[in-house]
Amino acid sequence: MEINRIGWIRTDFPGKFGIPRQSGLVEDLAGTVVFETKYRNADAFRGLEEFSHIWLIWEFSESARDKWQPMVRPPRLGGNIRKGVFATRSPFRPNPIGLSCVRLERIEMHPEYGPVLHVRGADLMDGTPILDIKPYVPHADSRPEAEGGFASRHREDRLEVELPEELEKKVPEHKREALRGVLANDPRPAYQNDPERVYGFGFAGLEVRFTVREGLLTVCEVVPQG
């Protein structure tokens, strides 16, 4: 079956490092969904503003994904325990389809781009192709009683964040809370825990560098991205 993108998302993450590992974990993260020319039709979105949340179905476009793997090592399990790929949201799956629930903040009618969706809490890289938008229907989609297995047991692994004032000033004011949320969620690449190492990732046109020691993340540098 041939599937084509209907649009793409703009976020503050130029690369995959730093992106929260599920949608909704950092509610302050803002993103916008822009559509291909043929879907720039206000009619196609009529009524969507009644929903507070939407599903993004998207393409894992940037993962080095030569082929599917029966088992993967979820980062949240420290990278040394293997689980079946269908028991995870890993990109190494047969079809490179991603699924994210985001808050729909507003629908803008942009003079050039037509309907643009402003969303919050997206765990997607900048430029990720969007394959479908669906309303979040709470009576079908929200199952608060669900058991989340190994994915749930690690949801509380938060880091304390030390972000010196002179470095925070380099971050646009309306993006500071989002950055703090991203840092608290531990943006280190999987499998690494080296207190001497300086890690870094791109965010909102900046390179953010930090160290992690015993549950404390300390930002040591914030510089414009080259």
Q: Is 132 an interacting residue with respect to a second copy (CB under 8 A)? A: yes
List 71, 109, 190, 216, residue binding a second copy (CB under 8 A): 71
List 37, 139, 214, 226, residue binding a second copy (CB under 8 A): 139
**CB 6: neighbour CB atoms within 10 A?**
17
- Contact (Cβ atoms closer than 8 angstroms) between residue 151 and residue 21: no
Q: Is 29 an interacting residue with respect to a second copy (CB under 8 A)? A: no
- Contact (Cβ atoms closer than 8 angstroms) between residue 138 and residue 55: no
Of 103, 146, 124, 97, residue with least CA distance to 21: 124
β-pairing verdict for 160-162 and 216-224: parallel
Q: Is 41 an interacting residue with respect to a second copy (CB under 8 A)? A: yes
Question: Which lies closer to a second copy via its Cβ, residue 57 or residue 220?
Answer: 57
Helix (H, G, I), strand (E, B) or coil at 11: coil
List 97, 105, 126, 177, residue binding a second copy (CB under 8 A): 97
149 alpha-carbon distance from chain centroid: 21
Q: Judged by CB under 8 A, which stretch of 127-135, 168-176, 195-203, 216-224 contacts a second copy? A: 127-135
Chain residues that interact with a second copy, rule: CB under 8 A: 1-6, 22-25, 39, 41-48, 50-53, 55, 57, 59, 70-71, 82-89, 93-97, 99-101, 131-152, 155
